[in-house]
Structure 1
Amino acid sequence: MGGITAGVGIFSGIDTQSLISQLLAIDARPKILAQRRIAQLQQQSAAFLDVNSALLALKTAGDKFSTAKTFKSASAASSNPEALVATAGTSATPGTYEFIVNRLVSTQQQLSRGFTDRDTSGVGLTSISFEQGGGALATDTLLSSLNGGSGISRGKIVITDKSGASATVDLSTAVSVNDVISAINQADGVNVRARVEGDAFSIEDLSGGGGSLTVANAFGYTTADSLGIAGTTAGSTLSGSQIRTVTGATPLALLNDGRGVLIRDATTSLTITDRAGNVVNVSLGELTSTTTDPETGDPVTTVTQSRASSIQDVLDYINDQAATAGASITASINDAGTGIKITDTSGGGGNLTIVNAAGGRAATDLGITADVAANEVQGQRILAGLNSTLSAGLLGGAGFVDTEFTITDRAGNSATVNLDASSLTGSVNDIINDLNDKLSAAGVLANIKVNSAGNGLAITDNSGGTGNLIVAGAGATALKLDTAGVASNNHNGGNLQSAWLSRATRLSTLNSGQGLGTGTIRITDAAGTTTSLNIGSSIKTIDDLIGLINGSPVNVTASVNANGDGIQIVDNTGITSGTLKLEDESGSVLRRLGLKGDFTDDGFGTIAAVGSFERELTFDPSATLDEIVNAINAQGVGVTASIINDGSGVTPYRVSLTSTNSGSKGKVIIDTHGFDLGLSTLAEGRDAVAFYGSGDPAHAIVLTSSSNTLDNVIQGVTIDLKRATNDPVEVTVTRNTEAIETDVEAFVEAFNRVLTTISKYDKYDAESEVRGVLLGDSTVNNIRSRLLSAVQGRGVGVTSEFEFLFQAGIKIGSGAKLEFDRDKFREALEADPEGIEQLFAASRLAPRNPIEIAPGVTVNNTGRDTYTELGVPGVIADMVKSFTDSVDGLLTTKSKSIDSAIDLQEGRIDQYDAILASKRARLEAQFLAMEKAIAQLQTQSSALTNFGG
């Protein structure tokens, strides 16, 4: 017999499987109870997860008041959105602010003369250069820099010419010297001409009348006085007083045409030795001292001297340190008001010497280097005259010493003249005026001016002759104006390379204010030595960058290039067959400096990478307009080139060159090196100008920007200029109560959602007699109780008259739910906005002191955060954190407890299954034995029956 194979015994006819199942069902009752318990526990777990989710939403809503600065929400409205639009951020201060939009930003655009075609004929241009950032000889001096940096008093002046005609000239919106000149020269009713002469204005009468020329302040203004032109003269020219001066307030960054002064911290900047031999090592940088904290033993660093940033700082540091060193030295403003004077009162018989510290150039930058047997050094000019640049900055900052010019006009008039020594150390305008005065006196009918590119000099012949215009002499050669003779009335000199970059230049000012960015550069010298240097945020100046490179293992020297418009890196290995490799591993620092690439011997035994912000392109004379334009656009030279067909005559094709950057920062010097491209200016790169704080621009603050956006004029408010207008525009910044109310309501809803969620699981339905899965659970009852207590309680450290949420319109209403009364909230917010903000959004952590675990041994305190100030929603959010913390939160602990209970029940079920399986096997074996016995009995019975038959 093969055993039982069906539910019913073959011999007994008994349904053994059903009988066994019935017998086991009685024993399986504990397992069923365990399974039911697991289901109950799983329902509780899901309920707690639901409660946890609602609590987390409440925490987010509570935290938002402090983290999202809800009560700092503001909105800004403009009285004339067509002229000005304002956007307020969370740091905006409510108030009403007044603006006048004087002009929008403009971008430099130049247009060439016409050409017959664009893609067939060669233009003839062989080279063109673009320089963005500096290099111009003529400038437009800001009025704010005049009078030693105190600026001028804007307003109105009254001019009366010699014919007796009078006009009121409004200079209320003037920002620069050229604004003043244009306004005066374009004034209706009077015939005068304004111009600059050195450090002052001059007004020339053109009326030819016999009276007096008078300039006076208009009633209520002092503008003429501040411009130095108030006065009367019987002559034809009223010469103003000096207004371009150096004073104690003059910023060092303004000196040397913006190149500033190289100052390093914690070291000597310059050394002065008085005539008695007393030496003073002057430090102009930041100095510190380090002491030991008597309580902690930690070093404490204190700044004892801040870095000099103004002329007054320099004077004070020299005088104080000289007194300390016992040197009889006094620093002051020089007699001309253009630099610094050093006076020696020692009475000694030696030389007064002033030298740079090793590797520095502070004395040079301040114009006071000297080695003289004199008691006084009148420092060189360090601030250029009006609308000009320094002569000492020419030729890359090397200046020049040759003074002789021999000039022959086209009519044959000739003279040899020499520049005054003062012109060599003065301004470019001094050179021009000096030459023109001497040529005029000598009867040569030619005059000197700035060339068409703006980076050199030019000479114009006014004789009407037909001969050659000739310019010779060592001075003419030095200033790149010499010519053996041109049969033209105009001759443009070469680029005088006016320096505008120095070691003191901040990297953030380069590339039209876009800086160099950060990154890692790799330098490999000709010997194969390689280094990678990180150019991070700590590298702030050209000096920092040069110092980093020169201090690296590679055998190179970095410096400012000879033209003063970039950086050069020279290989010092002497291996002329090698290659200097400069690579950007990350970022684009070298590319932006024009230094990226491989560099080999220049043919003279030197391997050098010469970077420059002047980018020159060369062409074959056969290059077409299209080819020139494509090359310009491909090289990224700071302008965008395009071809315009104006439809005129036989030469309709013109090249348009537009700066890639707007405003004054986007100005580009375009030099065609003698080729007549016929460039004319369609638009100058001018900054946007607005006036802030008053409906009268004369009494308002001048705001300028290289874009039509003004940031941080009003804290937290962005101003976008849309259109110029003479009428004031009001910007009203108010608290964004709607946003505040929305967040308060969201908090109330989140709070109520927690209570609703808890109630959903902690209830008894008498009608259906259904119990909630968390009915009577102490955890949710505790959470509900604590939340209701907290929402009716005080915050931490809240000291305003509003201590409770119900005072701000939030109270417990019907059904034990929070209710939000918007009207009451608005009244409270209007009555005490700071108090309501503190009630809701206060958040200040208490100091967390280290824990001493042994004498002198401390560890960080990693305990829970505590607060000295915390608003009520913050208190609730912090409480919720204690409920939901993933490590030791109340719900986390509860969840772990439920999981453990489920694990326990599942373990019991496994035990029950094992017992039942064992009992089933035993019963099946017993029934099998019974079937076998019955089978044997049946066999025996059959045998007996047969035997008896």
Structure 2
Amino acid sequence: MSSITFSGLATGIDTASIISKLMDVERAPEKVMQQQQSTYQSQSDAYSKLETALNSLQTTMQGMNSLSGLKAMTTSVGDSTVASVTASSTAAAGSHTLTVNTLARSQRQVSVGYADGATFGTGAFTIDDGSGNVKSVNIDSSNNTLQGIVSAINSSGANVTASIINDGSSTPNRLVITGNDTKNYTVDFSGLGTGPTLLDSSDPSYQAGVNASFTLDGVSMTKTSNTVTDALSGVTLNLLKEGTTTSFSVANDTTSVTNKINAFVTAYNTAITQINAQSTYNSDTKTAGVLSGDSTLRTIQNTLQNLLTSTVSGVSGPYTNLAQLGITSDKSDGTLSVDSTKLSAALSNNFNGVMDLFTHNVGTFANHATNEYGIAEQFNKAIQGMVDTATNNGLLETRIQGLQKSISGIDDQISSMEVRISAMQLNLQTQYSNMESIVSSLKSQGSYLTSALSSSSSTSA
């Protein structure tokens, strides 16, 4: 339990105020350290903001350093009721003709109707896909209902799906077995003795499985699906209507690529603007950015600016640097701008050359010199050296970790000082309290002696 003291009751001295002022003097170094902490934290926050901007720039460049990320194709179909067409980055530009002869269909088999609660025989039945794959399905007294047979078929591993439809009649429940591909399956219920009766091909409910049949650029083809991915490299055909013909084209999607290049410029400008804000000095107001004169910031700024003029060695097209695409930096603040006319011309004149400038050698197994990689990968690698957190050895991460360590170290120093100051304060409070007690005791003795002397004088008189 802490002691209760009453400052200066005996001496008239404000000892509490004296102790408080003495402690303020002792804590003066703490204030200096706290100011240093505030500076370190401001620098760390500034580095973190820059790191965020650089991470965003790196993410943008990682999305542009490969053909699959940067290149895009667009398609146009003359009659969209015949087919829809999509193209990936591996597709080649060109025009084509498509005739859809027959759409792919799955086999559908429907049974006669059964009343609710109908049961069947037990044993085993088979599902044969016609290609030598036969599944045997067991039925016993626990699942010899229509629903039990449906569940048994669906868990059999056969490439078919079973279900029940209700036609609303007095015997409404019909078993429906649908192939999951275009094969024609034979379902033999004879092993049950009494099994569901499937309607044959003469019934309108029956549908035979059939492959898609079409002609692409004069070449006849059949496929097991109406979604065709392997007829034309990088192109997916979704067949929609039988007995029809249409033309379609695949073209370079220059709009998509332009948007991605503009996104790179925006992300770069965000990072550079962040650098400018932290490194500037205003001679009029005599104020400087938090990281003004900082060597780490200068290193990052120089690295980014050097990348803008970097060339790519070994590219297949005529473009070896960003300026040839109309991407240039402002001499006053380092931000980028795009000459849209020049970029559009480059994409129109040599689309693949633009692709190679950004994506050159990415994805190959060999290790290449820095200038042998495309611009996007050069940015990616350079930024990784700034923001790498896997081992905290990125340039920015090293500085942030160092500053946080310094802040933590100051906290430890302040804590140690507070322990010492608290002990000093307690000691002073004890000393002053003892002094007050002594003075109080002396005053009491003085009052007693004064009273005694006064009484003795009165008696003598």
| Global fold match (TM > 0.5) | yes
Which whole-Å CA distance do the structure 2 matches of 1:944 and 1:122 have between them? 122
**Counterpart contact for 1:20–1:924, Cα < 8 Å:** yes
2:208 is aligned to 684
2:380 is aligned to 877
1:741 is aligned to 258
Matches within 5 A, 1:565-644: 612-613=134-135, 630=147, 632-636=149-153, 638=160, 640=162
> Structure 1 895/845 Cα, relative in aligned 2: closer, same or farther at 3 Å?
farther
Which whole-Å CA distance do the structure 1 matches of 2:416 and 2:123 have between them? 95
**Counterpart contact for 2:325–2:343, Cα < 8 Å:** yes
**Counterpart contact for 2:310–2:371, Cα < 8 Å:** no
**Counterpart contact for 2:82–2:242, Cα < 8 Å:** yes
Structure 1 residue 844: Cα displacement: 5.0
Which whole-Å CA distance do the structure 2 matches of 1:875 and 1:846 have between them? 16
SS in 2 for 1:823: helix
**Counterpart contact for 1:846–1:866, Cα < 8 Å:** no
Equivalent position amino acid for 1:802 in 2 = Y
Aligned counterpart for 2:408 among listed residues 874, 890, 903: 903
1:48 is aligned to 47
Which whole-Å CA distance do the structure 2 matches of 1:758 and 1:775 have between them? 10
**Counterpart contact for 1:687–1:705, Cα < 8 Å:** yes
Equivalent position amino acid for 2:261 in 1 = V
1:722 is aligned to 240
Asked whether 1:659 is paired with 2:178, we answer yes
Equivalent position amino acid for 1:104 in 2 = L
Which whole-Å CA distance do the structure 2 matches of 1:835 and 1:772 have between them? 41
1:99 is aligned to 98
Which whole-Å CA distance do the structure 2 matches of 1:97 and 1:725 have between them? 17
SS in 1 for 2:372: strand
> Structure 1 107/925 Cα, relative in aligned 2: closer, same or farther at 3 Å?
closer
Equivalent position amino acid for 2:422 in 1 = A
Structure 1 residue 18: Cα displacement: 0.9
Question: Which has the larger displacement, 700-709 or 905-914?
Answer: 905-914
Structure 1 residue 936: Cα displacement: 4.8
Count of aligned pairs between the two proteins: 436
Q: Identity of paired residues, percent? A: 24
Matches within 5 A, 1:926-941: 926-941=431-446
Structure 1 residue 796: Cα displacement: 5.3
Which whole-Å CA distance do the structure 2 matches of 1:736 and 1:786 have between them? 32
SS in 2 for 1:13: coil
Which whole-Å CA distance do the structure 2 matches of 1:940 and 1:111 have between them? 120
Aligned counterpart for 1:828 among listed residues 327, 343, 346: 346
> Structure 1 38/764 Cα, relative in aligned 2: closer, same or farther at 3 Å?
same
> Structure 1 655/44 Cα, relative in aligned 2: closer, same or farther at 3 Å?
closer
Q: Deviations over 1:600-641 (max 9, x none)?
A: xxxxxxxxxxxx44669899xxxxxxx885565344274747
**RMSD of the alignment, in Å?**
3.9
Give the TM-score normalised by the residue count of structure 2: 0.81
> Structure 1 617/685 Cα, relative in aligned 2: closer, same or farther at 3 Å?
farther
SS in 2 for 1:815: coil
**Counterpart contact for 1:796–1:875, Cα < 8 Å:** no
1:787 is aligned to 304
> Structure 1 885/123 Cα, relative in aligned 2: closer, same or farther at 3 Å?
closer
**Counterpart contact for 2:371–2:378, Cα < 8 Å:** no
Structure 1 residue 34: Cα displacement: 0.4
1:838 is aligned to 356
Which whole-Å CA distance do the structure 1 matches of 2:436 and 2:320 have between them? 87
Equivalent position amino acid for 1:920 in 2 = Q
Equivalent position amino acid for 2:57 in 1 = L
**Counterpart contact for 1:107–1:685, Cα < 8 Å:** yes
> Structure 1 881/121 Cα, relative in aligned 2: closer, same or farther at 3 Å?
closer
SS in 1 for 2:352: helix
Q: Deviations over 1:783-809 (max 9, x none)?
A: 112111212222354464211112112
Give the TM-score normalised by the residue count of structure 1: 0.41
Structure 1: runs of 5 or more not aligned:
135-499, 502-509, 511-611, 620-626, 694-699, 849-864
Which whole-Å CA distance do the structure 1 matches of 2:167 and 2:426 have between them? 103
Structure 1 residue 774: Cα displacement: 1.8
Q: Deviations over 1:219-251 (max 9, x none)?
A: xxxxxxxxxxxxxxxxxxxxxxxxxxxxxxxxx
Structure 1 residue 820: Cα displacement: 2.4
Equivalent position amino acid for 1:83 in 2 = V
Q: Deviations over 1:333-386 (max 9, x none)?
A: xxxxxxxxxxxxxxxxxxxxxxxxxxxxxxxxxxxxxxxxxxxxxxxxxxxxxx
**Counterpart contact for 1:128–1:670, Cα < 8 Å:** no
Matches within 5 A, 1:349-360: none
Which whole-Å CA distance do the structure 2 matches of 1:43 and 1:87 have between them? 51
**Counterpart contact for 2:105–2:209, Cα < 8 Å:** yes
Which whole-Å CA distance do the structure 2 matches of 1:801 and 1:709 have between them? 38
1:10 is aligned to 9
Which whole-Å CA distance do the structure 1 matches of 2:448 and 2:17 have between them? 33
Which whole-Å CA distance do the structure 1 matches of 2:405 and 2:165 have between them? 80
Structure 1 residue 722: Cα displacement: 0.5
2:224 is aligned to 706
Which whole-Å CA distance do the structure 2 matches of 1:810 and 1:678 have between them? 70
The structure whose residues are more often helix, as a share, is 2
Equivalent position amino acid for 1:934 in 2 = V
> Structure 1 910/652 Cα, relative in aligned 2: closer, same or farther at 3 Å?
closer
2:318 is aligned to 801
1:516 is aligned to none
